Amino acid sequence: MTLNLKALWTLGFALMAMGTLVVYGAVTLTESTSVSLYKGTSKVRDYPNWATCTEAAKAAGQAITAGTVTYSCKTEVRKVVATYTADPPPIPVDCVVSAWSAWTPSGDWSACTDGSQARNETRSRIVVTPAANGGAACPGLAELRLTVQSCGETPPPPPPIGSAVVFYTDLAFAPPGALVTVWGRGLDAAVTGAEVFSQSATKTVLKWTGGPAMIGGAPVSVTTRAGTVREATPSTLSFACSAAKPGDVILLRAGIYTQRCGTTTWGAQQFNLGAKFTDVSFVGYPGEVVQLKELRTDDGTGGQSNGLVVANVKMAGTYCVNGGSWWEAEESGAKNVRVVNIDCHGNYGSANTMTGLVGFGGDGWKVLGNRFTNNAPAPINNNHAVYATVGADDAEVAWNLFSNMKMGHVIQQHTDGPLRQYDRLSIHDNELVGANSGDIRGINISGCTASSTSDIYNNVLLNLGQDFSGINTYCGQVKVRHNTLAKIAAPPLLVQGGTVMAQNNVFIGRANVGSFTGSNNVTSGTVDSTGRMVGAPKAPNVGVNVDHAGVPRGATVSVGAYE
């Protein structure tokens, strides 16, 4: 709109040029002056009628007073036109990003060549405040580096004795405000990069603030990413599931959960998730008891919840977490799923489930720090605790306890039908303990191509077998290192196929069977109830730098799972 101005007495304007005036400072108004008023400007008065000035006043350039405002009657002063324009220019906002995450491997070490090997590592950060109104743009959010280390006869040095050692965490990615639980050794040390929620030598809970975080100098491998922390109770689970978005952490408070989550029109499971729950974490609140039923990572239509986390809860059913079956397509099922610190109870009696309490066919699964039991009255060949199938790559099964149960092979890699390629299956630091040698079997590697790879180390297998070996191989390239096997009802190691290298193990009991390359293995002596060998001999380390208890190994170590 257009206004006639007589005065702008207390308004601040600045004359930018003969023509348009904008806000700031005092002004002189002339006949050709145009004033731009921003929305919200107040106290604008019309210029006095030129007739108000007498001819004498005009000639003398005198001033006249109208009310409380004095106006000039100089002949050059004329009526002024003001033009109403838009809002003031917006204030520029520069981009703000979080601190860098810790460096994380994005692949395995390369083959050892001329005493060196390399791998790619990445780190990332997230946008905290996006750029706006012409502010500085965001810098890069990801970096890649190549790390080189020596290899061959000399393994990387272990951490110093007495320093903190991080075994694993429930979350690998966390939004600010999430609670991250860390398991390890010597964790009652100084924390940087996060707030302490609770702390002990073996388990510390951090309130994530963006990291990177360290405990006693040991890095906590958690990457910050966007998401919302949502609390849920038994009565609000379905609401939290409906609101969930990728990156969210659903923090489950204490109670027995019966509400369903995900697709409720397919299957009887409590959780049928699918793609909507990609990168969503279901985590029990630290120190509280949370009881769930069965969970499937798919929604019945092919959608998969990649990046799912299930942690710190109790589960019971025909299975606990199902992410693929042995008859499905190559590497099918959700990928990069974490199952951490759950009490998983197989509540199926004498049923032949033909699956695992935790079963998966997708790549990148982490099954860490869980406790497995079942209520079967007798062992059933096709029932397993952890079942890797259809060529799942880069899986890690570690720090789990398998006890008080009756079943087939506790840890099973297998696929019926065509042989599948399994790459980099890591089975380490598990405890398989039977009440008697007829309860459970050990570890089975089968259904794979000749070039499949697996590494079995730092495991304790006691009092098991069912007339099956503790570690049984049919295929692939298998490393068996620093394990302790005793009171096995059959040969501790049975090689029926594959290329097997066995080093620095304790094999107490019957003679091993099959062809394998071996060095520094002990086949006689005494093992106590925890799997520690009495008076174990020393042998050169073969690259397993921390023992089953988290004690760093030296260049010369005791054979078996313990230093």
Clarify whether residues 50 and 193 are in a common domain: no
Q: Is residue 287 part of a domain?
A: no
Integer Cα distance of 562 and 553 in angstroms: 9
Q: What's the pLDDT at 65? A: 59
Q: What's the pLDDT at 123? A: 87
Q: Is residue 228 part of a domain?
A: no
Structure tokens at 439: 């309860």
Instruction: Answer with the residue of higher pLDDT: 64 or 417.
Output: 417
Q: Pairing relation of β-strands 261-262 and 271-272?
A: parallel
Clarify whether residues 136 and 13 are in a common domain: no
CA torsion angle for 472, 477, 482, 488 (degrees, to 10)?
A: 10
Low-confidence winner among 266-270, 271-275, 423-427 (lowest mean pLDDT): 266-270
Integer Cα distance of 150 and 116 in angstroms: 4
What is the domain extent for residue 196? 165-223
Greatest alpha-carbon pair distance for the chain in Å reads: 128
Q: What's the pLDDT at 21? A: 36
Low-confidence winner among 61-65, 346-350, 388-392, 526-530 (lowest mean pLDDT): 61-65
Clarify whether residues 41 and 180 are in a common domain: no
- Boundary residue ending a domain (179, 205, 223): 223
Clarify whether residues 33 and 121 are in a common domain: no
Integer Cα distance of 413 and 28 in angstroms: 88
**Residue 61, number of CB atoms within 10 A of its CB:** 12
**Quick one: average pLDDT of 344-360?**
87
Render pLDDT for 208-234 as a digit per residue (tens, 0 to 9).
998 899 999 899 999 999 999 999 999
Clarify whether residues 103 and 173 are in a common domain: no
Q: What's the pLDDT at 370? A: 96
For residue 161, what pLDDT band results from cuts at 50, 70 and 90?
Answer: low
Render pLDDT for 102-140 as a digit per residue (tens, 0 to 9).
888 877 777 776 667 788 888 888 888 899 998 999 998
Task: Report CA Rg, the chain.
Answer: 35
Clarify whether residues 48 and 114 are in a common domain: no
Give the pTM: 0.72
Clarify whether residues 437 and 502 are in a common domain: yes
Q: Is residue 437 part of a domain?
A: yes
Clarify whether residues 10 and 130 are in a common domain: no
Render pLDDT for 428-476 as a digit per residue (tens, 0 to 9).
999 999 888 788 889 999 999 999 999 999 999 998 877 788 999 999 9
Q: What's the pLDDT at 59? A: 66
Clarify whether residues 399 and 542 are in a common domain: yes
Clarify whether residues 100 and 6 are in a common domain: no
User: What single-letter amino acid sits at 343?
Assistant: D
Clarify whether residues 472 and 539 are in a common domain: yes
Q: Is residue 70 part of a domain?
A: yes
Low-confidence winner among 195-209, 478-492, 523-537 (lowest mean pLDDT): 523-537
- Boundary residue ending a domain (208, 223, 238): 223
Q: Is residue 331 part of a domain?
A: no
CATH number at residue 131: 2.20.100
Q: Is residue 461 part of a domain?
A: yes
**Residue 51, number of CB atoms within 10 A of its CB:** 6
The 3 state secondary structure assigned to 314-361 is EEEECCCEEECCCCCCCCCCCCCCEEECCEEEECCCCCCCCCEEEEEC
Clarify whether residues 475 and 497 are in a common domain: yes
Q: Is residue 418 part of a domain?
A: yes
Q: Is residue 401 part of a domain?
A: yes
Number of domains within the chain? 4
Integer Cα distance of 9 and 420 in angstroms: 86
- Boundary residue ending a domain (223, 244, 272): 223
Q: How much helix, strand and coil, in percent to the nearest 5, is found in the chain?
A: 5, 40, 55
Q: Pairing relation of β-strands 229-232 and 366-368?
A: unpaired
pLDDT at 154 over 80: no
Integer Cα distance of 323 and 35 in angstroms: 69
